[in-house]
Structures are given as C-alpha cells and as structure tokens.
C-alpha cells in the first residue's frame, strides 16, 4: 500500500484559527435546508430520473417541507430544461418554495438558465466556477486573477440578464459557489466571494448565498469547521450573507462535517435524501435532520413516514437503501444480541410505567436513540432473535406478539431451547417460528397451527367442588398413553388437589413457583398459567393456556410432567 504518495491535507491547506470558537458552541435550531436531489443527486445516478420520477421527487420534497429545492442544471440538457418548465406549466411550486437552478459561469448558459425561470414565484440562480489550484492549473489553465474575473463576469451576466428579461413578479436571488472551496486557499476563496459580493451588492432584502462546497471531502470535519468559521469571521457584509455548507461524503464524514459547519457559522445546509450524489454521495439530509430531532430540535422537516420517503426515493433513484442506513435502514431499530434485547425490554417496561405514573414521556431507552414510532415505524422489528440473542429478546417477542408474560426462570429455560434451534439452523428465528418452538415445547396437547400433538399425558376433564372448610375436591380425567383414567382427590386448593392426582399416577411432584395472567380481556378472556415444578428429580417449567384459569393451571402441570419424559 503506497501510502507515501498522499500528503496530509493540512500541509497544503492550513487554517490559522488558534482561537476557534465552534468547539464550545451548540446547535440550537435547524439550518435553512436546500435539497439538491434533483441536481447533484440526479447527476450521479446510473439512470438519471425521467420526468415522472423527477416530479415524484419534487412533490416528496415539497411535502416533507423543504423550502429551497435545486431543480436542475437546465442549460445542460433538454430533459432538465423541460422538467423545469413543466413545474411552472403544471403550477407545481407552492408560493413559499424557492427553486434553484445551477449554471456554469458562461454567458450563453447563464442566459438559457435564466430564460427557464419565467413564471416561478421565487427562484435562485446558482453560479459556480472552480477556484481550487488543481482546477486553475489543470482544467481551466487560469491564474488567480482570471479565475476571480470569471466569477465576477458570471455574476454581472446574471444581474444584467435578470434586469433585461425577468418580470418583477419573480423574486430572484443569487447563490455563488467557489468549487472545491476546501481545496482553495482560504484568502483566495474570500477574495473571490468579496469580488462577487461587490457586484451583487447584498443589502437588506437582497441577501447573497455563499455556498462553500467540500466538493470532495478530504480532511477531518474539524478542518472544514475551521474553514467555515474563518470565512464567517472574515467576510464583509456578513449580515447579508447566507453562509451555506455543501458537503460530500468521500471520507464517510459528510454528516459530521455539516454538523460542525453549523457550529462554525453555517446558516444553511445543502444535501440529498439518504445521501445520493456523486461518488459516495452528498451529505444525507435525513440523517442531519433527524440528528437534530433527537436533540429536541425541530428540524422543520416532516420525517413522520420515513418508509414512504424511502419508497419514493428508491423508486426515483433506482438505488437501494442499505439495511444499516441511519434512521431508515431495515435493521436500524433492531437488536439481535442478548444483552441489548434485555435492556430494551426493560427500557420499554420502565417507560410504560413512567408514563403511567408521571405522564413524563421523555425518551430514554437503552440502545434506541429515537422512538421508531415517531418515524412511522412499528416496534415489531425492534427485537429479532438469532444465535446471539438471550432471554430478553425471546421474552420480548412472545410478549409483543402473543401477550405472554413469561416468569424470569422460564425465560432462561426457553432461551436455551431457542438457542439450540438457532445454533443448529445458524439463522434468525422469526416471531412465528418462535411461537412454534414455544408451543411445541410447552403446549404439546394444543392445536397450534398444525403442530403434531405429543406427550404421554393429556387433561380430558375436571370437576371440582369446595367444601365449607375451603378444601377442594377434584375429579379429574387424565389420558395416560391414550387411555383415560379418572382420579378423585382433594387438597388445600385446586393445585394442591391436582398435584395429589398426579402423585396417584406414580410421580413425585413438588411445585416451586407458579404464575398466571390473563391473555385477553372480556368474557372470552384466555388465561396463561406457568408452573415450575420438581418432578421425579427434574426441575422444569410447564405452561397451560385455557379460558379457565384453573384448567390453565392444571394444563401447566401436565405440560411440565410431559416434558420430564420427552
């Protein structure tokens, strides 16, 4: 690996800012957002969006609440131009949405671009030229002066042509981007931006957007933050400047870079949904927005149906969303590992209790930085079971899908049984499969979804009376290897009487623990009973489910008894 051919970024692009202020700052409000899905995102797709897909993307962005949307590079192609015009022709742009169009600093392209804006309520002309040394030397073969002049001339072209052709009823703003700002000498980037402002003359009601792109991300996020703070401090007319961050994600730190930029003074963030864009993408607006949300800050964007957003974006871009994509990936609210599941289960219980007792719904759940329900996700996928899972996950699934509230030691016993399955199969156990494993193990006589009934013993019928001394007198019919036996016993209570019946079958049995609860409410309620018993020197659990609590408890003892012989 010939790492020696690379240079540390700071060797060539030092930032002199020893008294930087951004590390001590906090983000307290959402920035202005610009979605560039239809431009930067679209230009990086294997198959660029067709008009219908572009329209679906535009409508989605509007619905989510984005107020600034870059809709294309209309001078680049007839498709882009037609789409821009179709938005006007179909009255698709709400009054409070500003569309933005990108152009190079070339007179013919600027004119063609501005011509497309007729009829929009609000628009921004976005002009860029490359200012970084490698572009000056290799691509444009321009010196600094000529590079600056290109930006000046382009800005003047925009103003002159707007003056000439644009109706007063279109509110047109201006955005300038020095391309690969991060690679450009800071004092030169400042010089070009100042020269552009000298032409545009920002003032009250005449802002200028200065967009400083990390076109290619090449350093740690703190370096970009220093660059932004340096620009923010040194720009003149700062109160009329909207300082905008445009971050790509080459080092995988686009989100962090945008966030630190906000600390450092950026007023506005450009990016794409789920980080579409050239190479590793533009910064992901969903992650940046929801990161704010989880700090109690209103992102001003509606993420409440994240699955719908994902579906539309996937349709438009023909790109898949990775399963671990923050906030939206299939697995991002899922825990497989035992200790995580245990903590989440306890967390949900504690949360329910806290809300019931105090009404306080502050989110504080282990391993879940956000409530999936806020994004329209259900809790169903929060816990999934595989060989890494423990009792917590198994118990959570049975509780959420079947209302079964298993006692702790039963959870431990069942979890070992499930582990035997997952170790053998190597894969995940779905909630349905888990129910089958549970039912096959503990409810042998039940008619659960085609499971083969098994077990030497089965409860056929019971009849019980209680005398004036509160003693229970029980007549019970138990099938033993297919043959019914009627036994009559008595005890201090129904369970005691039933244990005595089991002893008549020749077993030693001692009940160690017992629990029961209703599975449902109302007249047709069902009960679940759990018994831990020592039977013929084995200690194990049994489970019974029945509309009658008493029968459920008898069935639980039969379940444990059968399990001793399996």
Ligand X SMILES: CC(=O)SCCNC(=O)CCNC(=O)[C@H](O)C(C)(C)COP(=O)(O)OP(=O)(O)OC[C@H]1O[C@@H](n2cnc3c(N)ncnc32)[C@H](O)[C@@H]1OP(=O)(O)O
Q: Is 215 in the site for ligand X (CB under 6 A)?
A: yes
Measured from the CB atom, is 39 or 345 closer to ligand KIV?
A: 39
Q: Which is nearer to ligand X, 159 or 464 (CB)?
A: 159
282 is in an annotated binding site: yes
CB 52 within 8 A of CB 312: no
Q: How far is the CB of 115 from Mg ion (least distance, A)?
A: 24
Using CB atoms within 10 Å of the CB of residue 29, give its burial: 0 to 12 exposed, 13 to 18 middle, 19+ buried: exposed
- Pick the piece of the chain touching ligand X (CB under 6 A) from 72-80, 290-298, 359-367, 433-441: 72-80
Residue nearest to Mg ion (CB): 40
Contacts with ligand X, 156-195, as mask; x by CB under 6 A: -----------------------x----------------
Q: To which H or E segment does residue 244 belong?
A: strand 241-247
Q: How far is the CB of 295 from Mg ion (least distance, A)?
A: 26
Sequence-distant (6+) residues with CB within 8 A of 136 are: 130, 142, 143, 144, 147
User: According to the binding rule CB under 6 A, does residue 215 interact with ligand KIV?
Assistant: yes
- Alpha-carbon gap, residue 299 to 262, rounded angstroms: 13
Taking the least distance from each CB to ligand KIV, the nearer of 213 and 544 is 213
Q: Which is nearer to ligand KIV, 104 or 551 (CB)?
A: 104
The answer to whether 277 and 254 are in contact (CB under 8 A) is no
Which residues on adjacent β-strands are paired with residue 542?
Answer: 531
Q: Is 246 annotated as a binding residue?
A: yes
Q: φ and ψ at 268, to 5 degrees?
A: -145, 145
**What is the nearest approach in angstroms of ligand X to the Cβ of residue 137?**
12
Could you please report the per-residue DSSP string of 279-329?
Answer: TT-B-BHHHHHHHHHTTT---SS--TTHHHHHHHHHHHH--PPPTTSTTTS
Q: Which of 35, 39, 40, 546 binds Mg ion (CB under 5 A)?
A: 40
Q: Is 142 exposed, middle or buried (0-12, 13-18, 19+ CB in 10 A)?
A: middle
Binding flag, residue 134, ligand X (CB under 6 A): no
- Tell me which of 33, 66, 73, 442 binds ligand X, using CB under 6 A: 73
How many residues contact ligand KIV, by CB under 6 A?
10
Q: What are phi and psi of 504, to 5 degrees?
A: -65, -20
Asked whether position 105 contacts ligand X by CB under 6 A, the answer is yes
Binding partner at 345 among ligand X, Mg ion, ligand KIV, none, C-beta below 5 to 8 Å by kind: none
Ligand-binding annotation for 421, yes or no, is no
Residue 174 binds ligand KIV, judged by CB under 6 A: no
CA–CA gap between residue 391 and residue 387 (Å, rounded): 11
Burial call 148-183: b when 16+ CB within 10 Å, e when fewer: bbbbbbbbebbbebbeeebeeeeebbbbbbbbbbbb
Q: Which residues bind ligand KIV (CB under 6 A)?
A: 40, 102, 128, 177, 179, 211, 213, 215, 246, 248
Residues of the binding site: 40, 246, 248, 282
Q: Which residues bind ligand X (CB under 6 A)?
A: 40, 43, 73, 76-77, 104-106, 128-129, 139-140, 150, 179, 215
Residues of the binding site for Mg(2+): 40, 246, 248, 282
């Amino acid at each position: 690996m010939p790492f020696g051919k690379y240079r540390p970024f700071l060797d060539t692009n030092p930032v002199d800012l020893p008294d930087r202020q951004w590390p001590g700052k906090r983000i307290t409000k959402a920035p202005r957002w610009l979605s560039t899905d239809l431009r930067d995102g679209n230009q990086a797709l294997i198959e660029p969006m067709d008009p219908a897909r572009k329209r679906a993307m535009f409508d989605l962005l509007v619905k989510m609440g984005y107020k600034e949307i870059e809709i294309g590079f209309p001078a680049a192609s007839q498709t882009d131009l037609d789409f821009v015009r179709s938005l006007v022709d179909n009255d698709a742009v709400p009054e409070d949405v500003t569309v933005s169009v990108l152009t190079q600093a070339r007179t013919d392209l600027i004119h063609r671009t501005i011509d497309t804006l007729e009829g929009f309520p609000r628009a921004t002309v976005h002009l860029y030229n490359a200012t970084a040394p490698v572009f000056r030397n290799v691509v444009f073969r321009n010196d600094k002066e000529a590079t600056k002049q290109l930006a000046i001339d382009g800005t003047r072209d925009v103003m002159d042509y707007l003056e000439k052709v644009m109706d007063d009823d279109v509110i047109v703003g201006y955005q300038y981007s020095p391309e690969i700002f991060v690679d450009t000498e800071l004092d030169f980037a400042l010089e070009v931006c100042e020269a552009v402002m000298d032409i545009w003359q920002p003032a009250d009601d005449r802002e200028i957007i200065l967009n400083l792109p990390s076109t290619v991300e090449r350093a740690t996020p703190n370096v970009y933050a220093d660059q932004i703070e340096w620009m923010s401090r040194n720009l003149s007319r700062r109160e009329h400047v909207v300082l905008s961050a445009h971050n790509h994600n080459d080092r995988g730190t686009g989100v962090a870079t945008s966030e630190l930029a906000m600390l450092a003074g950026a007023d506005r963030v450009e990016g794409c949904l789920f980080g579409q864009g050239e190479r590793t993408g533009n910064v992901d607006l969903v992650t940046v927005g929801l990161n704010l949300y989880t700090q109690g800050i209103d992102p001003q964007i509606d993420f409440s149906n994240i699955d719908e957003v994902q579906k539309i974006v996937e349709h438009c871009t023909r790109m898949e969303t990775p399963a671990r994509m923050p906030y939206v990936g299939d697995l991002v609210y899922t825990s497989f590992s035992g200790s995580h599941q245990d903590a989440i289960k306890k967390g949900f219980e504690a949360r329910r209790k806290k809300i019931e007792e105090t009404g306080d719904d502050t989110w504080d759940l282990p391993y879940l930085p956000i409530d999936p329900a806020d994004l329209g996700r259900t809790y169903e996928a929060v816990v999934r079971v595989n060989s890494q899972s423990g009792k917590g996950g198994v118990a959570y699934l049975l509780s959420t899908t079947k209302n079964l509230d298993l006692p702790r030691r039963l959870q431990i016993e069942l979890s070992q049984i499930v582990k035997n399955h997952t170790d053998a199969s190597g894969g995940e156990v779905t909630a349905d499969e888990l129910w089958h494993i549970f039912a096959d193990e503990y409810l042998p006589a039940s008619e659960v979804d085609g499971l083969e009934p098994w077990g030497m013993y089965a409860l056929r019928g019971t009849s019980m009376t209680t005398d004036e001394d509160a003693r229970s007198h029980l007549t019970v019919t138990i099938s033993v290897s297919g043959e019914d036996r009627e036994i009559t016993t008595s005890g201090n209570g129904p369970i005691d009487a039933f244990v005595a019946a089991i002893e008549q079958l020749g077993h030693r049995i001692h009940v160690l623990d017992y629990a029961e609860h209703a599975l449902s409410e109302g007249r047709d309620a069902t009960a679940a009973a759990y018994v831990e018993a020592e039977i013929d020197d084995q200690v194990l659990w049994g489970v019974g489910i029945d509309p009658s609590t008493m029968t459920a408890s008898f069935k639980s003892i039969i379940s444990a008894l059968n399990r001793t012989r399996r």
